[in-house]
Amino acid sequence: MRVLAAMSGGVDSAVAAARAVAAGYDVTGVHLALARNPQTYRTGARGCCTLEDSRDARRAADVIGIPFYVWDMADRFHEDVVDDFVAEYAAGRTPNPCLRCNEKIKFAAVLDRAVALGFDAVVTGHHARLGADGLLRRSVDLAKDQSYVLAVLTREQLDRSIFPLGDSTKAQVRAEAAERGLAVADKPDSHDICFIADGDTRGFLAGRLGEAPGEVVDASTGAVVGSHSGAYAYTVGQRRGLHLDRPAPDGRPRYVLSITPKTNTVTVGPAEALDVSDVHAVRPVWTGGARPDAPVECEVQLRAHGDVVPATVALDGDRLHAELRRPVRGVAAGQAVVAYRPDPAGDVVLGSATITG
Amino acid sequence: MAYLDHAATTPMLDEALEAYVATAREVGNASSLHAAGRRARRRVEESREQVAAVLGARPSEVIFTGGGTESDNLAVKGIFWARRSARPDRRRVVSSAVEHHAVLDAVDWLSQHEGAEVGWLPVDAVGRLDPQTLRAELAAHADQVAVVTAMWANNEVGTVQPVAELAAVAAEHGVPFHTDAIQAVGQVPVDFGASGVAALTVTGHKLGGPTGVGALLLARDVPATPLLHGGGQERDIRSGTLDTAGIVAFAVAVETAVKGQQEYAARVAALRDDLIERVRQAVPEVIYNGDPTDRLPGNAHFSFPGCEGDALLLLLDAQGIACSTGSACSAGVAQPSHVLLAMGADDDRARSSLRFTLGHTSTQADIDALIAALPAAVDRARRAAALRTPR
Ligand SMILES: Cc1ncc(COP(=O)(O)O)c(C=O)c1O
């Protein structure tokens, strides 16, 4: 089997590629150049798209002994991930760009190109299990589990994906990298958003969307309690950075309850007002077996690394409805609701959909 | 493996490799005064005479450098600085749109950091310069021009420029003319003196010598400000302990390549013509780029409509065939070739290009291997390109 290993320059994808070789695949390494101007992306240890990362990936491919190329995916990435990220915030939603990148770039544009060029599958260093049964499961390393950002993948995409790391902890992956002589063994993990160089999402959005001063309104009284320079910069559930002029009458902290792009208003209120028991979502994908006709008892996760709650999930055409057993605080539109079936061999991803409210 | 990328670098000639190893065993700094130093100096000076003799230069015109990029930078920046400091209003550089980055980026740097004005000379659809455009440029600006630089032969599409005519135009206006002859030496006849150029770049690793050693041939009356300051070993224009073994091997390679040029060109051009013919049969819609006649003997350059060069390269590489897209890697991301764009190709055609270059070790078997792999690769690359969202 000929497989294409997507190599970010980090330790995970390097070990994943090495394991694919060890498993007997004919492996070719590819680094995705996602930045239109790589200098503006995060440097070194923290990101995945800089020139230094590209060099690290190349070096890892050399050590593993596989051919290596750089694929220019910058235009696709900007349209499908960066522009989408900005548009989602502008619409008052909270996008997850890693998820979008998996859905549109790694397991779409890259996978399609790979298949057209004669490859059978794409190998990545995601922490998730995908076994012979074709089911996507959480990694054994729950702290590193990435099944949430992979849950958007369709059956066809999963059938052409290989995740060699799902049975290992991050510590094991690092140890193996060191054993294999991969210099990235102790490279720090990447976090945050690779295309926001300084980690300042608000500043990035302000640069793209411009300043748009507006009011912060109290949900119960309707009183204006502060101002903001762009409603798009807020996320439901956010408490810090509100800069309210007046404390709440009851003296308790206030949170962002909703964002209304039309009126450019941020509405705030007490923590309880964030509680949600009904989650509505659209564009479901269902990969954990046949698409169910009847409601399913399962668990749901509503954001990356978020809590897991028992729920009843029902599908209806292009919609998904999750009734939560206990309320969850701070559910943001634009994030994914992912349904899991608890399983001792790793919780199984049943399906996912995009939260609308 | 079928190595069809000799323009990127070509294997060392046995003679050069042996000369290198034998010399590298000897101790001696060519600037030292004792016997070991004198022996090294003698080797360097013999090499200088050897290079001068086959390239039609005087020994004193040969400045050894650390390769082509350094020679190009020394010529472009060095002559610019020297002539501008003699006359501050002389700060124009004339260059062609199809130069190698070693010249192109040096010229750009002068314009961005040294206040140079640049006159870019266009090329026609086969990548050829017209001496009339240089004539017009110099008629308008000769007084302000510090240096003219135009390559002898293009590294991507293989087009050979009318260098003697261009040099004559520059000479009429008393402006020094530099040529990057890296791809030309050993491939086509190159005679420094007879060509009338003021400065000429040559490098070792494109003609069977080692990498990291080359020369700038610089006429005695052309001033150049050094890039590297230090011991002043080379005419006070270039500093650094001389790489005796590298220089000896370089000279052997230059001599062998230049003396064997005619026979080499006939043999390699025949192979190259066969390659072209068979590529055309295998993929009838290919576009053959570059000048069909005034061309380097080992160069074949095509656009494969509907394909991306990157994808073709990957697929051929997997079949053991080494070639090049010719696109420069700017900031890690492949850009469409500036040479193809200057020739009037659109972005898609530029990105669909592949360069195959033959050299002294090429055989019929290399071409057979290419032709065996090419149709399937083109087929696949086309399917992959069809997925691409239009730009
Ligand atoms: C036309 C041309 N100029 C300059 C260079 C750079 O020479 P070098 O690799 O010796 O620095 C090359 C080759 O890389 C070349 O083909």
**Is ligand 1 within 6 A of the CB of residue B366?**
no
Are residues A38 and A152 both part of a single domain? yes
Residue B25 in this model has a pLDDT that exceeds 70: yes
**CB pair distance less than 8 Å for B389 and A37:** no
Residues of A with Cβ-Cβ distance to B375 under 8 angstroms: none
Q: What is the pLDDT of residue A188?
A: 85
Residue finishing a domain among A269, A294, A310: A269
> Domain range holding B143?
14-259
Are residues A26 and A135 both part of a single domain? yes
The CATH number linked to B163 is: 3.40.640.10
Give the tens place of pLDDT for each residue, A110-157.
999 999 999 999 999 999 999 899 999 999 999 999 999 999 999 999
> Domain range holding A9?
2-186
**Is ligand 1 within 6 A of the CB of residue B68?**
yes
Are residues A145 and A257 both part of a single domain? no
Are residues A148 and A21 both part of a single domain? yes
Residue A73 Cα to ligand 1 midpoint, Å, equals: 29
Q: What is the pLDDT of residue B90?
A: 97
Q: Please check whether residue A82 lies inside any domain of the structure.
A: yes
Considering its fold, how many domains does chain B have in total? 2
Are residues B255 and B355 both part of a single domain? no
Are residues A30 and A71 both part of a single domain? yes
Residue finishing a domain among B236, B259, B282: B259
**Is ligand 1 within 6 A of the CB of residue B71?**
no
Q: Is residue A251 very low, low, confident or very high in pLDDT (cuts 50, 70, 90)? A: confident
In three-state form (DSSP H/G/I as H, E/B as E, the rest C), the secondary structure along chain A is CEEEEECCCCHHHHHHHHHHHHCCCEEEEEEEECCCCHHHCCCHHHCCCCHHHHHHHHHHHHHHCCCEEEEECHHHHHHHHHHHHHHHHHCCCCCCHHHHHHHHHHHHHHHHHHHHCCCCEEECCCCEEECCCCCEEECCCCCCCCHHHHCCCCHHHHHCEECCCCCCCHHHHHHHHHHCCCHHHHCCCCCCCCCCCCCCHHHHHHHHHCCCCEEEEECCCCCEEEEECCHHHCCCCCCCCCCCCCCCCCCCCCEEEEEECCCCEEEEECHHHHEEEEEEEEEEEECCCCCCCCCEEEEEECCCCCCEEEEEEEEECCEEEEEEEEEEECCCCCCEEEEEECCCCCCEEEEEEEECC
Chain A residues with at least one Cβ partner in B under 8 Å: 28, 33, 37-39, 51, 54, 67, 69-72, 74-76, 79, 109, 112-113, 116-118
The CATH number linked to A331 is: 2.40.30.10
**Is ligand 1 within 6 A of the CB of residue B179?**
no
Considering its fold, how many domains does chain A have in total? 3
Residue finishing a domain among B259, B291, B316: B259
Residues 6 or more apart in contact with residue A48 via CB below 8 angstroms: A8, A9, A10, A34, A42, A190, A194
Are residues B214 and B289 both part of a single domain? no
Residues of B with Cβ-Cβ distance to A78 under 8 angstroms: none
Are residues B63 and B23 both part of a single domain? yes
Q: Please check whether residue A200 lies inside any domain of the structure.
A: no
Residue B239 Cα to ligand 1 midpoint, Å, equals: 21
Q: What is the pLDDT of residue A153?
A: 97
Q: Please check whether residue B120 lies inside any domain of the structure.
A: yes
Are residues B239 and B287 both part of a single domain? no
**Which of B206, B339, B355 to mutate to test ligand 1, by most ligand atoms within 8 A of the CB atom?**
B206
Are residues A45 and A111 both part of a single domain? yes
The CATH number linked to B287 is: 3.90.1150.10
Q: What is the pLDDT of residue A200?
A: 86
Q: Please check whether residue A311 lies inside any domain of the structure.
A: yes
Annotated active-site residue A48? The verdict is: no
Are residues B77 and B187 both part of a single domain? yes
Residue finishing a domain among A228, A251, A269: A269
The mean pLDDT value for B179-190 works out to 98
Interface test with A, best of B1, B312, B314, B347 (most A CBs within 10 A): B314
Name the residue with the closest Cα to ligand 1, atom 16.
B155
Q: Percent of chain A beyond pLDDT 90?
A: 73
Q: Please check whether residue A103 lies inside any domain of the structure.
A: yes
Partners of B146 in the beta sheet?
Answer: none
Are residues B29 and B124 both part of a single domain? yes
Q: What is the pLDDT of residue A47?
A: 41
pTM for the whole structure? 0.89
**Is ligand 1 within 6 A of the CB of residue B208?**
no
Are residues A88 and A173 both part of a single domain? yes
Are residues B285 and B314 both part of a single domain? yes
**CB pair distance less than 8 Å for B383 and A116:** yes
Residue B161 in this model has a pLDDT that exceeds 80: yes
Residues of B with Cβ-Cβ distance to A38 under 8 angstroms: 331-333
Q: Please check whether residue A196 lies inside any domain of the structure.
A: no
